[in-house]
Structure 1
């Protein structure tokens, strides 16, 4: 490939937008389906939504953070000043904006409001123009606020109708946002917890205990969508994490899994309790926790004033314990030897004994969940299709939107029935195995019984290392060798079986890995090409990250980690599929791939990219991990390699695709992958580039087209100025709320079900695909958005190609829910994230970071030359 000079930065970038739908697909047999979209009718086209900015201030003029208190203040303001607001209801977004249908009487309004801590109705009445106020007596527990409302803009409801006709409308998203805020306001009136477009009722029947004092609270998502059949309300079941309501003491014991307060780690307790709200007894007041007292309840002193003869303001010191005993006649003996909760202000502490405090309900738990909590949540929150439909119909009835006067004033009528759509079930692609013949998967699955691998590898120099005291290596090895022989893979006897010395099992993970590699160097005659590693526990082993880094980065050794609980033929087959793929082999291929008959893809050199970004656990401020995988050895579409970089935390757009650092040097991810394709083809440049992008929302589609795609094009031009490949860009979304159901059936939709009518976008080229067999719970379809297609696929060709790519996932014997390149990108990002989870990479070269945006973050190490082109992530 020729090199060009360093490309100058573009002043004005491109302005691409998602392509329009070319037509509907026709392949597959048709089936009737229902979907969780409820048709919406709009009777008015002439009115406007009016948008106002709202600000809150304390009595001293300092601004108030509206989160938590804004809705209460506005509700009180409306009760007090309803006539001044023209009796006009409003929808408040919980932050700094409110909407009305039609204008308020004045463009600027100002009110003074008093809120009681208790359920008091005392208010302060003031002029809407900020004039003199008529004050009522305030209790010591009250707070005074000033509310300022200012007109911002108006949004035509007509913009919704324009968008439904396929016309461009810049104000459509604003109008839909108003409708969504209307639903949030309706849920807020019912006392629900609001989390973006989801709402959760305070009903113990919706609570799912997952351990650690954490409860999964089941609620519902609702949002308006523009579809081919008009406006619809999409409702779905949703779950958020809350702290278990009740006594603070009980929560702490469960959270830390201890029996008594003596065993509590108070540093952890302070971290988990901070900012939670409590109710205290016997005064029944609500407070927010800001921390813990430095001393115990029996030792923590504070100053208080008392009347004493001629000294009415005498100040005395008293412990919290003595105060409650003498002033409230309460003996807090259970809390005497433990810290108190601090519910005051940073410069004015207020201490309350633990046993007098209860956590309020519906408080979100935002810390990262443990592996056990996550698995428990998934298991307990599953719902079969009919169960989910029943829950959604119940939620729709309970919502009773027709009774809300503000919603009615918009002219909206929401159907109470699921929308009927037509689905098509595509035929599964035929697969080819090593011993000839084709296999037609059934119900999205196949097996390797009496089948051999298409391209089995040969492994001669390898070893087994065992970090587990429970696993018998000999039984595992014998069964694995038999399975390899049956599947056509040549696996020699291992050089050595190396057990971890019991004396190292209490060391840190890094030390345990180092000691094991010392044992490997002593025991083996040279570096192995493969190591099978047996871990002490599944999924959450602290050894996993350091071990993978040691093998893949420092020594260039392919490794497979396992933690077997039950070893059978299926387990061994799945293990073998991973090992063969990592070592460069191929397990099965599409028959049309083998025959070079994939439409357009097999005719011209084509590279397929899968792109994803991993952001880490909730609450984490570490770097995000961007991964791009690419197909190699065209005309194959089943073999991939990966390039991974760090970038700024929580940034979704990938900024490391094109990184020119010199006139003839590009350190970007695309350059690395294109060169690999060029060498593996051999020496052919791709004429077609197909990009599958995961993890972006519809609001980011233009960024994918105008920022990320532009970087990829620049990377191509950098390699060869006259090279002009054609691009197809497809976004694969899993995070959405559309589900499909078979009428009068307890089963999920069949694998291969595709929907491109009624509930899809009125203009853009999108479709839903359920490629997988949904054996448990309710199938989640993948929502594919075709943003660009320069290659020129027909609708059926593209849909069948996407469907086929769900069958080339080398780790499994079933179709996956997303195309394999996207799954691989997710795996690569997640596995490389383990490298910086357990180790400090700050001294590693920054050429494989995400660029300037990730300065200060741990840097991603570069894989060893022996493993960088492998499917290490498989």
Structure 2
């Protein structure tokens, strides 16, 4: 707090500096630096949309029904009541939940109620089977139950003014007409939602599906959404894929899930196999086969029961009978696998049992459970498509959606181009990088990459007090293998300019399933005693890529020992390759306070003291529960070369996250002042992880948090702020038209930026491909400049963002998002490793422990060991 100023005075003054929700900054003139070119995008132009107003209706059903059945009822209602000459042959569209839109007002008045019969199946075959069942029951003299009847209520709620959308696209309306855009999006998705398996804005088909092992398969599909872009509406189309359960006999899935053969089924399953199977099959829909096609019924698996021999019931004659004996008596064929556990189907309290061998998996069920490593690898292989292949598949999607022959689009006057949009782009030149060493010359990367051959780190560090911990048995990590790797690592670090004052660090072998904290404390003691100095680092050899061991290592090193650790996998230790050791050295040097490289001639930041801050706030996922807190991470630059960064992280409930963020900003500003002896005059804030619907709310709260921090540092201190949102989760893709615009992977070259055509009609945003492609089609990053007191403009904003992709210290290639935001994401992820069990650590107290001097830590450990 500013000295001599009361809290009430600060609060009063801050009220004058705080911002309310403000209009986002308008798009400046596009940049001109770089080579102008054109690229193909995965957008198509909408050439026309409704001229007149559209009527919005609310739809509800009584009694409530699951969403999966709502579309079937809507189609039955449309066929019976609406799509007829009497009504006017109107074709409304529906979002599958509550919202219905009609290009012409329906002759229903303000509210109307209908009685709608539930269709007896999803397709003609299922409807025919329902009729067969009813006829067979009537022939046998049994009473039949007719189809269920639902009450459907349709209420007019609004009129959508499409003229406002035209005004918005022309730049004459400041607010986005979200209702009109939502209406067009539902028009676009209506017909595909009835024809294909639908997940969000994506549609999937079994044609071209590929097995993922374990009873799952990946289905190809397409994402489509409509959005304002470049003064028009455009449709964004992208290939998509997701996992579904394999249809067919349930026993086939059982064998794949458990990894057993058909002859193994006769022996039944042990408890472990039954538990694994129940976890996989719970909630899965199956269809019975023992009564033939006419008698088939569908059920949902609730859980697993005992086997068919052991499970009994009292039959109609009052005799106790096993499920196996019942099936043999009634259906004339004994069960082939009576030792297998039974399925408990439907309501688990009613104990309805069904043998697995008489069930088929209903097709089209999405696999919502987490894929295992092998399945994930197969999924990546399936989805990893070179740009020219992906572009071709997107063009096939245009033919699949057949916009010209879609009666719903025609009803609303929606017309779409039949080819992908060609956007104006420019390719900015790569920056020049500076390294250390007498013979080192500045280098301009090619295709976004460079190497360290004959180069030194710009500011190499020194390593003297360190130790090695192998979380393996000595026979699995032989001393000769370990020594060879440590020697290669030391040689590589020396070649890069680091001073390796101790090439024979003490070694400790530890049990990965044992007391990890105790092992690390012992290694800490050994490393310090070996050279009579506070340890600088521990090198950790891991047996595999498992997260729990890694998380515990980072928790102890970050929050208790207060020194960095460098983890390596044994398979790399065993190979001891120079390239791998070079990658490890990159990390070690910056962890020890060194500097790997710097970007020469960074634009703008050298003109005045400038701090660039990357911010990320992660909230617990629905599966983690409400008790987990949010994590806020800030990473700020400490020098004009953008080569040194400081981090601040807080683990707090979401309710007061912005108060905590203000304190974190103070921490970074103090660090900046200690390093440079100057206060920042400009702040550039790159914020990761904000959706479009949250832009205004989050931006306003965080700018006020920054303002509050600055005001508490010094009364009236008000540096200029630029607020930029970083978005990676989108479906925009670029495809080069000419070979000269492509890198080695076939993607557009690093430095390609698009600022028009597919961007917001009036707001300041741009798409930037800052990294080189590895495999598949690379994804550009989407930057939204929402607030710009620095008046950076497009030229400075795009060039600065691009060059900041080259200062990422842990690689010899440009990265996909701006480095400070990348670092903030890493810090936020690391903070989640600091939890032990259900308890989350207090970051501030952890930091103070980590900063304790070596003598104190040594004394503390001596008591514990």
TM-score interval, normalised by the smaller of the two chains = 0.7 to 0.9
Deviations 1:433-453 (A, max 9, x none): 112531111111111111101
1:27 corresponds to 2:33: yes
SS at match of 2:127: coil
Give 1:686's aligned residue. Answer: 680
Runs of 4+ deviating beyond 6 Å:
8-13, 121-124
Give the deviation of 1:520 after TM superposition: 5.1
- Contact kept, 8 Å, 1:632 with 1:676, in 2: the verdict is no
Q: Does 1:41 align with 2:47?
A: yes
1:418 corresponds, among 417, 420, 425, to 420
What are the within-5 Å matches in structure 2 for residues 30-109 of structure 1?
Answer: 30-42=36-48, 44-46=50-52, 48-58=53-63, 63-65=64-66, 67-82=67-82, 83=84, 87-106=89-108, 107-109=111-113
Report the counterpart of residue 309 of structure 1 in structure 2: none
Residue number among 631, 634, 641 corresponding to 1:629 in the alignment: 634
1:663 matched to which residue of 2?
A: none
C-alpha contact (below 8 Å) 2:42/2:734 kept by paired residues = yes
Rounded to whole Å, the distance in 2 between the matches of 1:10 and 1:716 is: 13
Within 1, Cα distance between the matches of 2:155 and 2:129? Answer: 26
* 1:2-401 correspondence runs (5 A): 2=2, 5=7, 7=11, 14-42=20-48, 44-46=50-52, 48-58=53-63, 63-65=64-66, 67-82=67-82, 83=84, 87-106=89-108, 107-116=111-120, 119-120=126-127, 139-140=144-145, 142-168=147-173, 172-190=177-195, 192-203=196-207, 205-207=208-210, 209-258=211-260, 260=264, 262-263=269-270, 264-283=272-291, 284=293, 285-302=296-313, 306=316, 317-334=320-337, 336-401=338-403
Alignment of 1:425-824 (within 5 A): 425-435=427-437, 436-468=440-472, 469-470=476-477, 472-494=481-503, 496-501=505-510, 504=511, 507=513, 511-515=515-519, 517-518=521-522, 521=525, 525=529, 527-538=534-545, 540-563=546-569, 564-565=571-572, 566-593=575-602, 598-599=603-604, 601-614=605-618, 619-621=623-625, 623=628, 625-646=630-651, 655-659=656-660, 668-682=663-677, 684-743=678-737, 745=739, 747-824=746-823
Query: Using the alignment, how far apart are the partners of 1:268 and 1:708 within structure 2?
Result: 46
Cα-to-partner distance string for 1:175-214 (whole Å, 9 max, x where unaligned): 2212222232211232x111111111122x133x334333
Between structures 1 and 2, the one with greater helix share: 2
Q: Distance in 1 between matches of 2:617 and 2:215?
A: 31
Change (3 A) 1:690 1:256: farther
How far is 1:516 from its partner? 5.0
Displacement of 1:247 in angstroms is: 2.9
Q: Please give the per-residue CA displacement for 1:206-256, whole angstroms capped at 9, x wherever unaligned.
A: 33x334333332211101121115111110011222223333333234334
Would you say the 8 A contact 2:35–2:427 is kept in 1? Answer: yes
Distance 1:799 1:166, change over 3 A: same
C-alpha displacement of 1:761: 1.1
8 Å CA contact 2:662–2:706 kept in 1: the answer is: no
- CA shift in 2, pair 1:519/1:762, >3 Å: closer
Shift, 1:806, TM fit: 0.5
C-alpha displacement of 1:667: 7.7
Q: Which residue of 2 aligns with 1:854?
A: none
Distance 1:692 1:639 in 2: 17
State the Cα distance separating 1:496 from its structure 2 match: 3.5
Q: Distance in 1 between matches of 2:230 and 2:444?
A: 34
Is 2:725–2:784's contact at 8 Å kept on the other side of the alignment? yes
Shift of 1:123: 11
1:495, 1:657 → 2: CA distance?
A: 47
Q: Does the Cα contact within 8 Å between 1:732 and 1:783 map onto a contact in 2?
A: yes
- One of 836, 840, 843 as aligned partner of 2:837: 840
Where 1:799 maps in the other structure, the secondary structure is helix
SS at 2:21 equivalent? coil
Report how far residue 364 of structure 1 moved. 1.8
Root mean square deviation of aligned Cα: 3.0
1:407 counterpart residue number? 409
- TM-score w.r.t. length of structure 1: 0.86
Point out the more displaced range, 115-124 or 245-254. 115-124
Q: Distance in 2 between matches of 1:34 and 1:489?
A: 46
Report deviation, 1:42: 1.3
**Alpha carbons of structure 1 residues 251 and 719: separation in structure 2 relative to 1, 3 Å:** farther
Query: Is the aligned partner of 1:831 residue 2:808?
Result: no
Report the alpha carbon displacement of residue 426 of structure 1 after superposing the two structures with TM. 0.5
Relative distance call for 1:86 and 1:629 in structure 2 (3 A) is same
**Contact 1:109–1:148 under 8 Å retained in 2:** yes
Please report how far the alpha carbon of residue 372 of structure 1 lies from its aligned counterpart in structure 2 after TM superposition. Answer: 4.3
- In structure 1, what is the Cα distance between the partners aligned to 2:179 and 2:40? 29
Q: CA deviation at 1:413?
A: 1.0
Displacement of 1:863: 7.3
Once structures 1 and 2 are overlaid, which stretch shifts more, 237-246 or 258-267?
A: 258-267
- Name stretches of at least 5 consecutive residues in structure 2 with no aligned partner: 132-141, 854-865
1:137-173: CA deviations, max 9, x gaps? 9944844322222222121222321221123365622
Contact 1:465 1:534 in 2 (8 A): yes
Three-state SS of the structure 1 residue aligned to 2:168 is helix
Mapped to 2, the partners of 1:479 and 1:350 lie a distance apart of 65
- CA distance in 1: counterparts of 2:209 and 2:304, whole angstroms: 35
Instruction: Give the deviation of 1:423 after TM superposition.
Output: 1.4
Please tell me whether the aligned partners of residues 279 and 357 of structure 1 are also in contact (alpha carbons under 8 angstroms).
yes
Q: Which residue of 2 aligns with 1:127?
A: none
Report the more deviating stretch, 750-759 or 262-271.
262-271
| Distance apart, 1:669 and its partner CA | 2.5
TM-score (norm 2): 0.87
Between the aligned partners of 2:55 and 2:102, the Cα distance in structure 1 is 5
CA contact (8 A) 2:115 2:149 kept: no
Contact 2:48 2:416 (8 Å CA) reproduced = no
1:617 Cα offset (Å): 7.0
Shift in Å, 1:356: 1.6
The 3 A distance-change label for structure 1 pair 266 and 152 is farther
